[in-house]
Amino acid sequence: MAAKRKPGWWKRKLLVAIAVLVVLAAVGGGFTWYKFFREEPQPDWITKDPDMRFKYGSIGAERDAGMPYWIFYVLPRMFPEKLPRPGGWAALGVSWEQGQELPIGFTKKVVGFPRVANNCASCHAASYRKSPDENPTFVGSGPGHTLNLVGLFRFFVDCAKDPRFNADNLMREIKLVTDLSWIDRQIYRFLLIPITKKRLLERENQFAWIYRKDFPDWGRGRDDAMNLTKYFLLKLPMDDSVGPTDIPSIWNLKKYDRQGTTMNWAGDSHDAYSVIIDSALGVIGAAPKNKDEFLEQVKWLQQYLREKAPPKFPFPINEKLAGAGQAVFEANCATCHASDKTGKRMLLDAVGTDPERIWTWNKDNAIAANKVVGGFGIERKGLVETPLEGYNAPFLDGLWLRAPYLHNGSVPTLRDLLTPPEKRPKVFWRGYDVYDPVNVGFVSQGAEAQRVGTKHDTGERAGSNRGHAFGTNLPPAEKDALIEYLKMR
C-alpha cells in the first residue's frame, strides 16, 4: 500500500499529527490552567482597605491549604452533629461580622475555582460585648478568645472520616445552594471532593494528639502552638507533651523594637518578622510558591501590626482611682511589666506559673525548624536556639481585652489574678464574649457562659492557675486602684 503513496506523504501526515497534538495540548493546558491554577485578585473592598485586608485578605494560603468553596459551604449543613453546638461555622466561635459571607480570617479567592483558606485574623481577632443585649464589637489583631480552634481542626478530620463524605452526598447538597456548570460539577465530583477528602484524612496522624483522652481540651481561645509546629512543620512523631496557651493579641508590634526582646509566651522567637513568617507558613501549610510575594505580604502585615493601636477600654474609668492605681503599679508591677525586663524571659522559678508549655519545645526543635524555613530560601532571625527557661514578662498594652490571663489563660479576670492562687477560680468557662468591667475580664460563670463557652479546669494538665502571686497581698483598696489603672493600659 505504501508503495503507491506519493513521496513526503508520511512526513505530511506526521506534521499534521504533531500540529493536532500541539493544539490539543495547548487547549488542554489552557483548560487546566484556567480551571485549576488561574488566580483572580480579591475584590477592592478587601485589598484597598488595610483593616479589611487584615481581616479578609489572602496571604496565599488558598493554593495549598484552600478548600473548594462549595465543600466548605456544605460541610456544616451535612455534619452538624460533629460541631460542638448548633450554629454552622459560628458554633466554633469564629469572629463573624454580620453581613459578611465568611468569618473574619476566612479568605475567599479564586485559584482555578473559588477556595476558602485562612489568614492571621482567624486567630487574631477578638470580640466583646458590653452587655448580652448588644451585638459584638470585633477588634482585628486582638486575641481570638472565642475561637474553638481544636474544634475546627477536629471537625475537618471528622467530616472526612465519615463515610457520608462522598461525591454523591456532597453534590446533592451543593445542588441545593448553587448552580454549577456541567464541567464544574464533574470537576467537583471526580477531583475536588475525592482530593479534599484525601488531604483532610492525611492530616489525621499529625493531629493524633488533639484526640488524646489524657490531654486537656484546648478550649476556646487557646492553641497548642509548638506542638502544631512539631507535628506539621517538623513532622516529628507524637511525644507526651501538651501545652495549650492563650492566642495572643498581635497589635502594636513596634513595642518589640527594643533590643533584646523576644516573642511568643516562652520568648522562643527572636522578632516579629520571624514570628509572622513562621505563623504564616503554618497557615499556608507549604513552602510559599513565590518567595518574594510571600515576604512582601509578611512585610505588609508587620507594618500594619506595628502601627495597629490596642483598643481603649469601652467602659467609663474612674480617673482619680486610676491615678492612685498608677502608684501601686509603679511600686509593684513596673519592674517586670514596664521596664527594660519587659518582653524578655523570666526564670520560671521566679514566676511559678504552669511549666508544661515550656516542655513542648526545645533547642533541637528550634534548630530543626530554622533549617526547614531556611530551606525555603527565607532569611530571618528565627527561633531562639537555646533551651527555654521560663516565660516572657509581657507588655500590658490593651490588657483588658487579653483575658483570661497568664500564658495558659487559667485565670479569668484581673481581679482573680490579684487573688492568691489557691483562691482563684478552679473551674470556669472560656470563650463567652460579654465583658465584666468590674473584675476586668470576660464573664466566665453562669448559664450563658456555660452554654457558649468551654470549661477550663485548672486541675487538668497544662491548665494550672498557679504562680504569679505578685500583688495578691495588696490591701483591697490598692487592688481596686490597680485594677482601675490597668484598664487604661
Partner 1 sequence: MTATDPAHPATGKQSWLARLAQKRWAGWLIALLVLPTLGLIVLGLYVAFVLMEDEPVVYANIEEHFKYGSTGGERESGFPYWLFQVLPRVCALHLPGPGYASLGMIFEEGKALPVGMSRRRYQGVDRTFLNCAGCHTSTVRDSPEAKPRLYLGMPANTFNLWAFQKFLFDCAKDPKLAAEYVVPEIDRLMREKGERLGLVDRYLVYPVAVAIVRERLLMLRGRFEPLLPYPEWGPGRVDTFNAAKVLFNFPLGALSEAEKNGPSDFPSIWLQQPRKGKQLHWDGNNSVVEERNKSAAFGTGTTPPTIDLVAIGRVEKWLLTVEPAKYPYTIDPAGASRGAAIYERYCASCHGANGRDFSGGLVGKVTPIKDIGTDRRRLDTYTYDLAVNQSMLYAGYPWRFQHFRKTFGYANMPLDGVWLRAPYLHNGSVPSLRELFEPASKRPKVFYRGNDVYDPKKVGFVSGVPAQGGKTFFKFDTSVAGNANTGHEGKAYGTELSPQDKDALVEYLKTF
**Which residues would be at the binding site for partner 1 (CB under 8 A)?**
1, 4, 69, 73, 76-78, 80-81, 85-91, 96-103, 114, 133-136, 175-179, 451
Phi/psi at 70 (nearest 5 deg)? -75, -20
CB of 235 to partner 1, least distance (A): 35
CB 404 within 8 Å of CB 442: yes
Q: CA-CA distance, 254 to 258, in Å (whole number)?
A: 8
Answer for the pair 379, 296: CB distance below 8 angstroms, yes or no. no
Q: Specify the residue, 97 or 397, whose C-beta has the smaller distance to partner 1.
A: 97
Going from the C-alpha of 9 to that of each of 22, 248, 261, the distances in angstroms are 20, 74, 78
CB of 98 to partner 1, least distance (A): 5
What is the full DSSP assignment across 225-283? HHHHIIIIIS-PPP-S----EEPPP---GGGGGSTT--BTTTT-BS-HHHHHHHHHHHH
Nearer to partner 1, 102 or 228 (CB): 102
Overall residue count recorded for the chain in this entry:
489
Smallest distance, Å, CB 4 to partner 1? 6
CB of 86 or CB of 375, closer to partner 1 = 86
Nearest residue (CB) to partner 1, 196 versus 465 = 196
What distance in Å separates the CA atoms of residue 479 and residue 446, rounded to the nearest whole number?
A: 25
Rounded to an integer, what distance in angstroms lies between the CA atom of residue 255 and that of residue 239? 35
Query: Smallest distance, Å, CB 159 to partner 1?
Result: 13
C-alpha cell at 24: 490539543
Q: What residues contact 374, with CB distance under 8 A and at least 6 apart?
A: 382
| Residue 103 or 140 with smaller CB distance to partner 1 | 103
CB of 83 to partner 1, least distance (A): 8
Shortest gap between Cβ of 132 and partner 1 (angstroms)? 9
Nearer to partner 1, 20 or 331 (CB): 20
- Residue 22 CB, shortest distance to partner 1, in Å, is 22
Instruction: Give min distance, CB of 46 to partner 1, in A.
Output: 15
Q: How far apart are CA 277 and CA 138, in angstroms?
A: 24
In Å, what is the CA distance from 169 to each residue of 69, 193, 352, 358?
16, 10, 53, 45
**CA atoms of 175 and 423, how far apart (whole Å):** 56
Residue with Cβ nearer partner 1 (40 or 101)? 101
